Amino acid sequence: MNSKSYNDSVSVQSWLSLLLLSLVWGSSFILMKKSLVALSSPQLAGIRIALASLCFLPIALYTRKKVDWSRWDKIALVGVLGSGIPAILYAFAQTKINSSISGILNSLTPIFTFIIGLLFFAMPFDKIKFAGVLIGFLGAVSLVYNDNISNDSSQLPYAGLIVIGTMCYGFSVNIINKYLKDISALVVSSYSFVFIGFFAWTYILFFSDFSTAMENPYFIKSLEAVSVLTIFGTFLSSIVFFQLVKKTDAVFASSVAYLIPIVALMWGYFDGEILGLNHVISMLVIILGVYLIRKK
């Protein structure tokens, strides 16, 4: 572990990258819902990964001489834990639970990143960083909590899928932070997706039947939604995220999960929903938490 990375000041570019990721990923939930109108959960996950791997293939071929094949297993793990498994889990969960619950559970990512870093990756304990993680999580919970959150116990297994997904994110980010910091973000992102893309294409070509989906009148719109989700929410954002992990650290990069509910709330505001004082206070709490995470 390069402990120096936990003390370096964050550049303006890193803050802008964090903001960009929050804007893109904060908009991904609505794209997933539109995709699921005609597509099944496995089809959504499969198409998303397959298209992303196709986008990354030219980059992988171009950067093939820069690959450190002695660490291929770490790159493959990043693909499986950081993209493959979460894409499947989130697609299934999104069919049963609402965006508010998804926002709360997705905010567990920085907490799991911090805990997993301590337990498995020898990350030094930082009291201020730990306080920032907790404050940011409390702010995210207060932001997305409302009277519409269901108490239906049948949703618990689907909520558990997102929890598992956030744990996978935690492991993936720590793997990048500890083992792949000296490798180009383009190499890590492209080869991690090419690896899992093989399995996605196998599923799409040999095990998935799209005949029912194609009969749906919204099939084209669902394809458009998953295409936009793939290009912006998977392809481009993965490069930005991996680069952010390399320039800062695992916990700061994962704190984007705290900003995602803010973006979702702003989408609701522009759609006619009310933005109250309690929402503003919650957003300020989140910003304080993210600031503490990167405070020296």
Q: What pLDDT sits at residue 2? A: 45
Q: What pLDDT sits at residue 80? A: 97
pLDDT at 148 > cutoff 60: no
How do residues 152-198 score in pLDDT, each as one tens digit? 556 778 888 988 999 999 999 999 999 998 999 999 999 999 999 99
Q: 105 near 162, Cβ under 8 Å? A: yes
Q: 291 near 132, Cβ under 8 Å? A: yes
- Write down how long the chain is: 296
Place of tokens 């180009």: 184
Q: What pLDDT sits at residue 8? A: 47
Average pLDDT taken over every residue of the chain: 84
Mean pLDDT of 273-281: 70
pLDDT at 205 > cutoff 50: yes
pLDDT at 269 > cutoff 80: no
List CB contacts of 70: < 8 A, sequence separation 6 or more.
none
Tokens (6 digits) for 186: 């383009």
How do residues 43-83 score in pLDDT, each as one tens digit? 999 999 999 999 999 999 999 988 899 999 999 999 999 99
Q: What pLDDT sits at residue 46? A: 95
Ranked by mean pLDDT, the top range of 83-97, 107-121, 214-228 is 214-228
- For 98, 265, 279, 286, the CA distances from 146, given in Å and listed in that order, are 12, 12, 11, 17
Distance CA 186, CA 175 (A): 16
Q: 198 near 56, Cβ under 8 Å? A: no
pLDDT at 6 > cutoff 80: no
Position 145 confidence tier, pLDDT thresholds 50, 70, 90: low
Top-confidence residue, 112 or 269: 112
Mean pLDDT of 271-277: 65
Mean pLDDT of 212-234: 93
Q: What pLDDT sits at residue 274? A: 64
Backbone angles phi, psi at 236, to 5 degrees: -70, -40
Q: What pLDDT sits at residue 103? A: 67
Tokens (6 digits) for 292: 């503490």
**Nearest CA-CA partner of 31 in 48, 52, 56, 53:** 48
Q: Above pLDDT 90, what percent of the chain?
A: 42
Distance CA 180, CA 172 (A): 11
DSSP output for the chain = --GGGGTSPPPHHHHHHHHHHHHHHHTHHHHHHHHTTTS-HHHHHHHHHHHHHHHHHHHHHHTGGG--GGGHHHHHHHHIIIIIHHHHHHHHHTTTS-HHHHHHHHTTHHHHHHHHHHHHS-PPP-HHHHHHHHHHHHHHHHHH--TT----GGGHHHHHHHHHHHHHHHHHHHHHHHHSTTS-HHHHHHHHHHHHHHHHHHHHHHT---HHHHHSTTHHHHHHHHHHHHIIIIIIHHHHHHHHHHHS-HHHHHTHHHHHHHHHHHHHHHTT----HHHHHHHHHHHHHHHHHT--
pTM: 0.82
Expressed as residue numbers, the domain containing 177 is 3-293
Mean pLDDT of 37-42: 93
Mean pLDDT of 10-14: 81
Mean pLDDT of 116-129: 88
Q: 143 near 265, Cβ under 8 Å? A: yes
List CB contacts of 181: < 8 A, sequence separation 6 or more.
2, 5, 245, 246
Task: Give me the number of domains the chain comprises.
Answer: 1
